[in-house]
Structure 1
């Protein structure tokens, strides 16, 4: 078979481009294709891989052994070095076991690469792959000056990376599709005019901070190969969460609290960019024991929230594959207890710090054989009662002083109104200084004799109710009921006790309330309007995205299929 190199017919491939720093293998192949002058990319495929069926790929090029064999003996091509320095293997295998990584490398060397993305969980995990290959405008200029041409850098193609770590600027989309219709093609980065005219994305300062951190950490994983078993990774997370208070001594994980704090920590903008804002099942998959292991993007988001660099995460010296996690927690907890007792903390303080009960503390000291001399904490274990201590007398004077001060500052308010903001003070005085509190509890009649204009109030509530109902319809995620709308209006008592005084509002609400079936259909229509602009909608995907209880799936199928097929409903 003849090989084409620089338009000359020869029997062997006599050269292969030397890779530039951090150059993507796809980019190397694109340069090779240009340098050979092949009329069609399929000739390049045949030259390099000894087959006409190989396709271009971004993350995990395959048949690399054939690339090495296609070279004459005078050219020593280290394909394992190519995998290490010119592919994205290290990043996507960072949280995978050594066995899985070894299997992926084998497929890249020997096979056509089929199943690699599935093996790494990159197909169904909602990974935020870029649609186009990306580039940094400043890197483009620097590469032109240094090498006479631009090229695609590996780090810019990593899922979730939107910033160049070298120049600290947002990367841009090229005109090269990650998954083009013709997979037997390689394109070079040649967009000189578009670099200058590239549109600049604007993100919030909070989002930019997380974008920069993610890019730096992703580059670290790309350049510093990591590989641990799934059991090791999950135990490492549980130890970290135990130290931060998200895992209890009995190994129970506060998943709901963790997700709530994570959503509060990140901006909606950032989670949307990372395609991690729709469902948080990936958090449960990582934190709770099981066989699921989400992609590395989600791991980095989790580490960002925990403020733990990947280097620190993988630097754990414990043999986590062998330790029993509950025994580890118990030993760590016992150690903290001993330290707190040595510091002279009271039982109440220790209970608060360790998040446990006084009974647990006492049983632990007996189990550990600790003869603790507790700091007095208000209990009745000693000869004096709490009311006889200097601490109590001092606190009593402070509480009384606060109560009198607030009344002087608010002469028009009753004690009941003051309690609303200072109920903890009132509760303490009521318990320990009841007689003094009763003498100083001021009651005032703040009710007004002015008659309520219910007609005017009804008109106002009617307008507000319409606005709320329209907003609920637009969002599509809440069923419209009288009680729910009344709760938003803060008139829940009125719709049951004074509904005859607001007839216009009640008539409107009674007309707008939905049955469960009506609500489900509205929810399906609302979800379909969102999905149809971004993907091909099937009934299964529509029903799942609508988050309706599974038992209604068959009942709604006919309506959902009609909706997808173009029928319109009112």
Structure 2
């Protein structure tokens, strides 16, 4: 594929996945691997919807006449801006570097996308009205990135419900860029709309289409911002945040159905996301969590970009002691020394927690007199605990996964047209794919099953040849060159086992000439 004459630019708000799919359509590339080899000089790049990688290589390969830059691709044609402004500056630069580099993994994990609790899309989506407008204006349909935000259910421009394209499932076409023009898109319109969906849509649109240079606030700045936000609404009890009125305010503003759909239901636990976001920030919070809190408290004045600017203007530092202020004590130095000696003696017998129970008054005196010394000596004598998580019966879960995999194998056994049944493909046929990937070391039977039944390259090539021989009724199907082309194979990439299969087939087929003529190598 010669990209020298590729002058196509991505459309406004077009997903980078869609841009590469259109390149495939323009050059009529049938093989997915041929496309990624031409674009990236690599045959293992994944067709990611969210955080694609190898972007610097992509820009280097595509001609400079298209005026593309890798940074422009990241911020104008991927979903990265939804997370970029809410992670610390250092991590933001690290994720950008991973997306530019030729590493296949890392950006989804480092950005928090893989671990966050927000819903994730299983299918690409589109708006029927937008699709028709694209067809009339550009003569083709493409995937918009604003339609791939999981929290958005409706098209912001037309108030039409987004439709899932079920023919493109996440994980099923790992290396294939599928153009929207080749999909059978449903044109039915459903115009039911919710004003709270619009609040989320407007905020996400501003994040995705922001043209200002925004600096990502640090954890300390976000902590100070939310402390000030609670103070401005009178939700403080002294130095502490009163969560009950905040919880009531959010529940009164947001419908319960939307919070459940976004997996942001609020409970009374001290570890809930709402409690954490108003405490000292030790991790990044998602764009949806920021939108839910700020929209409920600011209401008509809510602007997500202004919230980010205000957080970035806060101090980059926290007080040395958040909740405890230092003050002089009336205790003499001799009394403090005596307390320290007694406390050291207690730590030789008990752990710091148990020693504090025995001598609470002494602990309080030392805390006020010399906090740094107390914390340091407690740290030296702290108890090391080995936590064993017995909440999950991994043996039982291992057996259940193997049974489900056997059902998958039984169901697909007779279907020769399916993609290659790799380990990953088999895992994606189950609902708990991430569990198998993450805890494979605890699932020996499932790992053994996947190693045993995963289809090798040779088996897949033989199956493709068999499928063409059984189903393709073209008069030249028995000619070697035509059979290889119909099967998507070539002499260079054919394995030795596949080549031996063709030779054996060529010797065997004359005995069945009533079904197939002999395989011919002639043109």
Question: What TM-score comes out, normalization by structure 2 length?
Answer: 0.56
User: Do the aligned residues in 2 keep the contact of 1:58 with 1:178 (CA within 8 Å)?
Assistant: no
Structural RMSD (CA)? 3.2
> Do the aligned partners of 1:133 and 1:174 also contact (CA within 8 Å) in 2?
yes
In structure 2, the partner of 1:402 is none
Q: Structure 2 matches for 1:511-522, cutoff 5 A?
A: none
Instruction: Report what 1:82 is aligned to.
Output: 73
Unaligned runs of 5+ in 2: 326-403, 405-429, 436-523
- Once the 2 structures are TM-superposed, how far is the Cα of residue 184 of structure 1 from its aligned partner? 0.3
Q: How many Å separate the matches in 1 of 2:134 and 2:243?
A: 47
1:27-426, aligned counterparts within 5 Å? 27-72=18-63, 76-177=67-168, 179-190=170-181, 194-197=185-188, 200=190, 202=192, 208-224=194-210, 226=214, 227-250=216-239, 252-277=240-265, 281-307=272-298, 308-316=302-310, 318-322=313-317, 324=319
Aligned to 1:426: none
SS of the residue 2:186 aligns to: helix
Q: Matched residue of 2:237: which SS?
A: coil
Whether the aligned pair in 1 keeps the contact of 2:266 and 2:274 (CA below 8 Å) is no
CA offsets 1:348-386 (integer angstroms, 9 cap, x no match): xxxxxxxxxxxxxxxxxxxxxxxxxxxxxxxxxxxxxxx
State how far apart, in whole Å, the 2-side matches of 1:240 and 1:325 are.
Answer: 21
Cα deviation, residue 76, structure 1: 4.5
Report how many aligned residue pairs link the two structures. Answer: 323
1:26 aligned residue: 17
Match for residue 443 of structure 1?
none
Q: Distance in 1 between matches of 2:221 and 2:38?
A: 44
Task: For residue 175 of structure 1, give the secondary structure of its aligned residue in structure 2.
Answer: strand
Any idea what SS the aligned residue of 1:185 has?
coil
In structure 2, relative to structure 1, the CA distance for the partners of 1:113 and 1:98 (3 Å cut) is farther
- The answer as to whether partners of 1:143 and 1:149 remain within 8 angstroms in 2 is yes
Q: In structure 2, the residue corresponding to 1:182 is in which secondary structure? A: coil
Measure the CA separation in 2 of the matches of 1:75 and 1:202.
Answer: 40
Question: Do the aligned partners of residues 320 and 169 (structure 1) sit closer, same or farther apart at CA in structure 2, a change above 3 Å counting?
Answer: farther
Q: Give the distance between the partners of 2:434 and 2:313, measured in 1 at CA.
A: 48
**Partner of 1:454 in structure 2?**
none
Give, in angstroms, the shift of residue 188 of structure 1: 1.5
* Cα pair 1:286 1:293 within 8 Å, conserved: no
Distance 1:311 1:100, change over 3 A: same
Q: C-alpha offsets along residues 132-184 of structure 1, whole Å, 9 cap, x if unaligned? A: 11111211111111100111111111231122222233222123545232310
Larger radius of gyration: 1
CA–CA distance in 1 between the matches of 2:207 and 2:96? Answer: 17
Alpha-carbon distance, 1:196 to partner: 2.3
| TM-score, normalised with respect to structure 1 | 0.52
**Please, which moves more after superposition, 282-291 or 309-318?**
309-318
